[in-house]
Structure 1
Amino acid sequence: MSEDHKKQLEQQLWNIANTLRGKMNADEFRDYILGFIFYKYLSEKMEIHANKILKEGGDTIQFQDIDENTENGNAYIEAIREDALQSLGYFLKPSELFSVVAKRGSHKLEEDEAFNVAAESTIGYSTKQNFILEDLQKILTNIQNSTMGTDSEEDFDNLFEDMDLNSTKLGKTPEARNKVIAKVLSHLDAIDFQLQETELDVLGDAYEYLIGKFASGAGKKAGEFYTPQEVSMVLAKIVTTGKTKLKSVYDPTCGSGSLLLRVAKEVKDVSNFYGQELNRTTYNLARMNMILHGVHYRKFDIKQEDTLEHPQHLELRAEAIVANPPFSAKWSANQLFTTDDRFSQYGKLAPKSKADFAFVQHMVHHLSENGIMALVLPHGALFRGAAEQHIRKYLIEERDYLDAVIGLPANVFYGTSIPACIMVYKKCKEHPNTVLFIDASQHFEKVKTQNKLRLEDIDKIVSTYRERNVEDKYSYVATLDEIRENDYNLNIPRYVDTFEEEEPIDLKTVAKQLVEVEENMQDIDSQIADYCNQLNIPTPF
């Protein structure tokens, strides 16, 4: 697919999304449009899989043409259902396919006035379109129900719960809501997602594009579920350094799952994806995002809970860990955690008002011996004192886990303009007793009100990290002794000197220039006085 075609598809989907917008905010219509795209994806995957089974069995019939009301038709459906639940993890009947429902919703009924009057008296509303809302709501529920008792049940549980088709936000009346939904389904049905092209992740890329667009309009809430693609690329490239395959990748604050999927793009294969997310709606979005990107339900394990208070992957030791935790979030810092394996060895807990290092400790606990972890933190985590300084000292002095600190430009994240940094940790460092500092804060492109890392900025950060380059005013490798001398303060300007010397000032030349200016002013004053005398008016001085 050409880049132009890809952009055209993304714009088409965004235009359809705006059909739903109305008076809804970005969060609300995001849930509907992404849900409908996901339903279309499941339907098309189901149809492709079913037609393949029928073809391999020597049948010429297509899945959509099977008559569900006949004994022979039901025999076909049961055989396909059994296979689909094993292979896809869910099942849809022919009558439940997206294209079938979309066509039914857009089909015009009799348009004469007599018919509409009769329809209004019979079913309570006048319509020129088939009413599909109730059927559609049942289908979304049936997708979930089809997985009950199977290995995929947890992955599909309440997946469509944020799509309330009876919400007045879609329209004040059932007729109005039906009209909007039918229109959206019809427009989506006309788009070819090219799922047959296994080498192309067309729909996955479009989904990521939409998530990013919604995040840019969601204000402060955006940080809860989305990391800008450019920052994701930096994190993903760093944790995959020297790897072509990964046994496991983990994000303890996974949001929409985009960071996990970005890591997968940097290697040939990821065996297992693990994530945890607190927000229920975002948790649903993450599971949809995984499935829609072709990650088999057996290969991902996304949980919904508070990561620090109720961790869900206690035995996990991941080869790659990435995260963009909420900046300086509050947590309980309950004294019971002093006996928790994640925190017990440090001697102190992160403060209640700032959980940044609690996330660091949690991630270090889950990092395998040969793994790399990279997370985004506010700059305050580099230099704040008290318990945070104590934890930094332990990680650097006692464990020698800190590998690099990377300063990012301000205003690259949605919802906050504060500058942030990336901290990289490894349990088995190739360069012990040193920490690489990179100041990338001045390397960006300004796009409207947002700063954005360019590809050359990303490449420079990653190559500097991988090759451990030292560059004047950009990067520096500090020894443990230097960090110790700075009392474990990791503020980047302490190690990377970006000071620009000004040219020396020649005071003799400046004095001479001042004398010349004074002489010129006297000449000008004389001219003004002469003009005033000629005009017979008082001088202004």
Structure 2
Amino acid sequence: MNDKDQKQLGKTLWAIADQLRGAMNADDFRDYMLSFLFLRYLSWNYEEAAKKELGADYPDPNAIGNGGRTPLSVWYADNAADVPAFEQQMRRKAHYVIQPQYLWGHIVHLAKTQNDALLDTLQQGFKYIEEESFQSHFQGLFSEINLASDKLGRKYADRNAKLCAIITEIAKGIADFSTDVDALGDAYEYLIGQFAAGSGKKAGEFYTPQQISNILSAIVTLDSQEPKAGPRRSLPSVFDFACGSGSLLLNVRHQMKAAGGSIGRIYGMEKNITTYNLARMNMLLHGVKDTEFEIYHGDTLTNDWDFLRENNPAKKPQFDAVVANPPFSYRWEPGEAMADDMRFKNHGVAPKSAADFAFLLHGLHYLKDDGVMAIILPHGVLFRGGKEAAIRTKLLKDGHIDTVIGLPPNLFYSTGIPVCILVLKKCKKPDDVLFINAADHFTKGKRQNQLNDAHIERIVSTYRVREEQERYSRRVPMQEIIDNDFNLNISRYVSTAEKEEEIDLSAVHADLVAIEKQIVEAKKRHNAFLAELGLPPLP
């Protein structure tokens, strides 16, 4: 599917969502809409794998009729003894199993015929997918989809009818499009973005705008120690400790594959249960197998993921790349015990008023010595005093801050404030800090400002070759930063203001003298004319 068709599929599905949600809150309807798209993808992928597995034995869809039977339901009925062996093969090759009655084709048939069993079938299907489809089990994957909600209708029949309408329209909307993994995955991302745009501040909980995601992904997929060498060939592991819907992790995966490289295991952590479920669906919907990623539901600040709490330094998990867009200036309660936490012990604990540096230090702690980390933070981390100044000073003295990138304001759905990207490394080679001031380089939009491809490319290429450009980028020696009390306010080092034109006073004086002379000559001529007319001269 080409880019135009992919965008049109997204727009078609968004129009359906906008039309059908009625009085339902956009965030609530999002969960239904995206879950049905997810079921559509799982079914399509599973049936494609079944066709390959069964070959000539796969029933001809055209010979089945339109009684709601799917090819797999026909095969299951005719080959009951062979079903266990078939499902075992499917778990090995497709990594999951969906029984025929829960496949999208059967669900759509129930919806189009307004069958009273639709709601019950969906509930059973969602439970089956959570508990039995995948070997790794995806408990609670659909926990936010309340099919018994009064928002769908007060009575069972009303709720069933509403679901029939929604599913019928979705099926109709995607019928004219190719719905392979790339197409549906892109449509899913488009819808997440559209719902984010409509949910204001809540959007920051689950979505990083694609343009900013592209910058972070491009940075961490370059060679970590020699960025000018270009994209790395392999990225064994990547971690996002505030992963939201997983779009940033998927962008890193896409960048690696687009550059001809390979990516290993993907790790994410997310506190919000709804967003956590979105991330797991998003991974699977983009063709990431359940054995290739691990998303954990938990609190990053309290570090409650046992996998990360390994006390043996030799076994402590570390990642080749860390990316993150954590909540800005999040208030937290660190407690006295945090001073002994291994993540903060060497640098200090972030203040209660803003957990920005707590998030940063968490990511840095789990970064490999030759890895690279890119994190989005508010500008306050660059210059705020107190505990944050002490942490910033330690990071600079230890040589961990590699690059500071200032972005334009109003790029996010959740806030209009300008933000920065900090690039950190444990073993960076340059003894200076690269500052990129891209604050004035954007395209103004109606609701949010935009970074186009040229803006993004300039930022990434400037980072890659560490280039200095007037009023845009500069490599600042550590001594200058020390002289500025470790303040990293970007405008101190790279001002975007145009220089005032220097005034040549001697030239200005000569011009004034010449003008004065011209005035005297003009006055003489004018008085001569007045004399001829018998009029008194000008004084």
**TM-score, normalised with respect to structure 2:** 0.85
The AA in structure 2 aligned to 1:146 is E
| 1:16 to partner: Cα distance | 2.0
**2:110 aligned with 1:104:** yes
The one-character-per-residue Cα deviations of 1:158-204 (angstroms, maximum 9, x if unpaired) are 111111112121233333322221122223334256455xxx61111
CA distance in 2, matches of 1:477, 1:60: 63
The AA in structure 2 aligned to 1:356 is D
**2:200 aligned with 1:219:** yes
The one-character-per-residue Cα deviations of 1:369-418 (angstroms, maximum 9, x if unpaired) are 12110000100000011111111111111x20110000000110111111
**2:282 aligned with 1:289:** yes
Partner-residue secondary structure (3-state), 1:446: coil
With over 3 angstroms needed to count, the CA separation of the structure-2 counterparts of 1:172 and 1:504, relative to structure 1, is: farther
The AA in structure 2 aligned to 1:232 is S
With over 3 angstroms needed to count, the CA separation of the structure-2 counterparts of 1:183 and 1:411, relative to structure 1, is: same
The AA in structure 1 aligned to 2:149 is S
The one-character-per-residue Cα deviations of 1:224-273 (angstroms, maximum 9, x if unpaired) are 11111000000000111121321001000000000000111111321100
- Moved >4 Å (runs of 4+): 66-72, 503-510
* Residues 374-453 of structure 1 aligned to structure 2 (within 5 Å): 374-397=374-397, 399-431=398-430, 433-453=431-451
Partner-residue secondary structure (3-state), 1:271: strand
Counterpart residue number, 1:233: 214
2:96 and 2:135 in contact (8 A); partners too: no
* Residues 502-513 of structure 1 aligned to structure 2 (within 5 Å): 502-503=500-501
2:220 and 2:374 in contact (8 A); partners too: yes
Partner-residue secondary structure (3-state), 2:296: strand
Partner-residue secondary structure (3-state), 2:454: helix
Counterpart residue number, 1:345: 346
| 1:42 to partner: Cα distance | 1.1
CA distance in 1, matches of 2:82, 2:446: 56
| 1:79 to partner: Cα distance | 2.3
Counterpart residue number, 1:501: 499
With over 3 angstroms needed to count, the CA separation of the structure-2 counterparts of 1:65 and 1:2, relative to structure 1, is: closer
CA distance in 2, matches of 1:394, 1:94: 59
2:58 and 2:75 in contact (8 A); partners too: no
CA distance in 2, matches of 1:340, 1:70: 55
Counterpart residue number, 1:114: none
Moved more, 365-374 or 173-182: 173-182
Q: 449, 468, 471: which one pairs with 2:469?
A: 471
Counterpart residue number, 1:30: 30
Q: 151, 156, 177: which one pairs with 1:169?
A: 151
With over 3 angstroms needed to count, the CA separation of the structure-2 counterparts of 1:11 and 1:195, relative to structure 1, is: closer
2:467 and 2:473 in contact (8 A); partners too: yes
**2:247 aligned with 1:258:** yes
The size of the alignment, in residue pairs, is 482
Counterpart residue number, 2:136: 152
Q: 61, 78, 84: which one pairs with 2:90?
A: 84
Counterpart residue number, 2:291: 298
The AA in structure 2 aligned to 1:421 is C
The AA in structure 2 aligned to 1:222 is A
The one-character-per-residue Cα deviations of 1:473-511 (angstroms, maximum 9, x if unpaired) are 00010011111111110000111022223446899999x
The AA in structure 2 aligned to 1:405 is V
The AA in structure 1 aligned to 2:234 is K
CA distance in 1, matches of 2:498, 2:73: 77
Counterpart residue number, 1:331: 332
Q: Which runs of 5+ in 2 are unaligned?
A: 62-69, 224-231, 309-315, 520-539
Task: Give RMSD over aligned pairs.
Answer: 2.4
The AA in structure 1 aligned to 2:5 is H
Partner-residue secondary structure (3-state), 1:297: coil
| 1:288 to partner: Cα distance | 0.3
Counterpart residue number, 2:79: 73
| 1:68 to partner: Cα distance | 7.3
**2:137 aligned with 1:139:** no
2:58 and 2:72 in contact (8 A); partners too: no
**2:171 aligned with 1:189:** yes
Q: 244, 267, 276: which one pairs with 1:274?
A: 267
| 1:151 to partner: Cα distance | 3.8
**2:302 aligned with 1:309:** yes
With over 3 angstroms needed to count, the CA separation of the structure-2 counterparts of 1:89 and 1:66, relative to structure 1, is: closer
Partner-residue secondary structure (3-state), 2:238: strand
Counterpart residue number, 2:235: 246
CA distance in 1, matches of 2:10, 2:271: 29
The one-character-per-residue Cα deviations of 1:273-303 (angstroms, maximum 9, x if unpaired) are 0010000000000000000000010110100
2:401 and 2:424 in contact (8 A); partners too: yes
CA distance in 2, matches of 1:412, 1:471: 24
1:90 and 1:144 in contact (8 A); partners too: no
Q: 55, 59, 70: which one pairs with 1:61?
A: 59
Counterpart residue number, 2:480: 482
| 1:467 to partner: Cα distance | 0.7
Partner-residue secondary structure (3-state), 1:246: strand
CA distance in 2, matches of 1:152, 1:85: 11
| 1:337 to partner: Cα distance | 2.1
CA distance in 1, matches of 2:73, 2:120: 22
2:107 and 2:118 in contact (8 A); partners too: yes
Partner-residue secondary structure (3-state), 1:380: helix
CA distance in 2, matches of 1:158, 1:84: 23
| 1:53 to partner: Cα distance | 1.4
The AA in structure 2 aligned to 1:134 is D
1:54 and 1:62 in contact (8 A); partners too: no
2:349 and 2:387 in contact (8 A); partners too: yes
CA distance in 2, matches of 1:220, 1:43: 34
Q: Which runs of 5+ in 1 are unaligned?
A: 109-128, 517-541
1:331 and 1:352 in contact (8 A); partners too: yes
